């Protein structure tokens, strides 16, 4: 009887038997980024030189505990493995998320921060610069650290952006300093494949995950029968239209869709059970954006 009461008490106190604390270590770091590593637009045949496509910038980077070792932000299968976007942060409804952040911006020497959409937090984890109100969470200077404490609550399931909201926010976002949170419902099944499509203008090109044109943007891969999830996000000033060839998903009201528009700081995820093998295009369907680089390949094998 006493044991049963103790178990009950533990369950009540923890909220859920399966709730976890997810701990991430992230830093703002300088890097040299190439928007078009193969220096080519495969569709038009136009070529570029590194003078057009390579530039120094500051991005979010995943680290091992206490920032001992710089790590890859994401697996190749999720974003093509580069440093744009930042680490994909995973959680499940009920979890606590702890993000330890360090400013290592020795390029611009700007203050930075992290501001998260979609989750519960106190003002000291907001990361947004508010004159006279905000604290160090919004103004992490070079060499300093801050810990953001977040909770994935019942209305957090979905995909959400995070980004710099310090005084240097505009330059930071324009330089590729953004990432995504991917939060599963309490009992939701994990997809077999997860792809992040981050639409943004970068260095004058229209990019997906910081790259422009087929052959540079991520090549996403899946197998027939797999549950695939596409996480679609954008920041900056433009609206985009997400489109994947040869596939449809179920939209609001149960209506099938193969396009969905997205505005600045909006985000969504779509799912399907893969059933159509082949090599397909995914792209922004705003025509000029597609021609300026927002297009990539999706390969489905049997």
Number of shown-chain residues binding Cu ion (CB under 5 A): 4
Does position 260 interact with Cu ion (CB under 5 A)? The reply is no
Q: Which two tokens stand for residue 65?
A: 């505990």
Q: Which stretch binds Cu ion (CB under 5 A): 33-41, 81-89, 167-175, 289-297?
A: 289-297
Of 102 and 240, nearer to Cu ion (C-beta) is 240
Cβ 298 to Cu ion shortest distance, Å: 17
Does position 295 interact with Cu ion (CB under 5 A)? The reply is no
Does position 159 interact with Cu ion (CB under 5 A)? The reply is no
Does position 58 interact with Cu ion (CB under 5 A)? The reply is no
Question: Which residue from 154, 127, 122, 150 is spatially nearest to 138, judged by alpha carbons?
Answer: 127
Question: Cβ distance 194 to 90 under 8 Å?
Answer: no
Instruction: Starting at the earlier edge strand, list the strands of the sheet with 205-208.
Output: 205-208, 193-202, 227-234, 267-273
Q: Which stretch binds Cu ion (CB under 5 A): 95-103, 174-182, 207-215, 280-288?
A: 280-288
Cβ 262 to Cu ion shortest distance, Å: 9
Instruction: Starting at the earlier edge strand, list the strands of the sheet with 89-92.
Output: 89-92, 178-184, 158-163, 115-116
Cβ 290 to Cu ion shortest distance, Å: 7
d(CA 289, CA 38): 19
Beta bridge partners of 68: none
Q: Which residue matches tokens 């240097």?
A: 168
**Among residues 91, 235, 284, 295, the one that binds Cu ion under rule CB under 5 A:** 284
Its sign, for the CA torsion 257, 259, 261, 266, is: positive
Q: Which two tokens stand for residue 15?
A: 């909220």
**What single-letter DSSP state applies at residue 166?**
S
Cβ 38 to Cu ion shortest distance, Å: 21
Does position 36 interact with Cu ion (CB under 5 A)? The reply is no
Cβ 18 to Cu ion shortest distance, Å: 38
**Among residues 59, 157, 235, 286, the one that binds Cu ion under rule CB under 5 A:** 286
d(CA 103, CA 139): 10
Question: Which residue from 35, 33, 37, 92 is spatially nearest to 60, judged by alpha carbons?
Answer: 33
Q: Which stretch binds Cu ion (CB under 5 A): 47-55, 190-198, 221-229, 232-240?
A: 232-240
Q: Which stretch binds Cu ion (CB under 5 A): 105-113, 116-124, 220-228, 278-286?
A: 278-286
Cβ 243 to Cu ion shortest distance, Å: 10
Does position 61 interact with Cu ion (CB under 5 A)? The reply is no
Cβ 234 to Cu ion shortest distance, Å: 8
Of 111 and 210, nearer to Cu ion (C-beta) is 210
Beta bridge partners of 100: 25, 147
Q: Which two tokens stand for residue 82?
A: 């580069």
Does position 289 interact with Cu ion (CB under 5 A)? The reply is yes
Of 59 and 284, nearer to Cu ion (C-beta) is 284
Question: Which residue from 88, 61, 84 is spatially nearest to 181, judged by alpha carbons?
Answer: 88
Question: Cβ distance 242 to 260 under 8 Å?
Answer: yes
Q: Which two tokens stand for residue 191?
A: 């997809």
Residues 236 to 255 in contact with Cu ion, rule: CB under 5 A: 240
Does position 212 interact with Cu ion (CB under 5 A)? The reply is no
Residues that bind Cu ion (CB under 5 A): 240, 284, 286, 289
């Amino acid at each position: 009887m006493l044991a049963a009461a103790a178990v009950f008490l533990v369950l009540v106190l923890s909220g859920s038997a399966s709730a976890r604390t997810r701990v991430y270590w992230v830093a703002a770091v300088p890097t040299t980024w190439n928007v078009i590593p193969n220096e080519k637009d495969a569709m038009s045949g136009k070529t570029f030189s590194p003078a057009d496509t390579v530039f120094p910038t500051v991005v979010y980077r995943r680290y091992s505990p206490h920032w001992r070792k710089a790590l890859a932000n994401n697996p190749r299968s999720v974003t093509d493995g580069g440093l744009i976007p930042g680490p994909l942060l995973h959680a499940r409804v009920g979890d606590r998320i702890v993000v330890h952040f360090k400013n290592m911006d020795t390029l611009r020497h700007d203050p930075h921060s992290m501001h998260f959409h979609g989750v519960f937090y106190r003002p000291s984890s907001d990361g947004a610069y508010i004159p006279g109100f905000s604290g160090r969470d919004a103004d992490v200077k070079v060499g300093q650290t801050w810990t953001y404490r977040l909770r994935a609550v019942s209305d957090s399931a979905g995909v959400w952006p995070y980004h710099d909201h310090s005084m240097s926010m505009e330059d930071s976002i324009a330089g590729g300093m953004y990432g995504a949170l991917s939060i599963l419902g309490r009992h939701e099944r994990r997809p077999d494949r997860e792809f992040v499509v981050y639409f943004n203008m970068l260095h004058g090109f229209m990019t997906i995950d910081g790259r422009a044109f087929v052959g540079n943007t991520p090549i996403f891969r899946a197998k027939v029968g797999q549950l695939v999830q596409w996480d679609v996000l954008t920041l900056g000033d433009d609206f985009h239209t997400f489109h994947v060839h040869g596939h449809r998903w179920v939209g609001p009201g149960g209506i099938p869709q193969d396009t969905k528009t997205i505005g600045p700081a909006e985000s969504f995820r779509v799912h399907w059970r893969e059933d159509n093998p082949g090599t397909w295009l995914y792209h922004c369907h705003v025509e000029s954006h597609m021609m300026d680089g927002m297009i990539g390949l999706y390969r489905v094998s049997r």
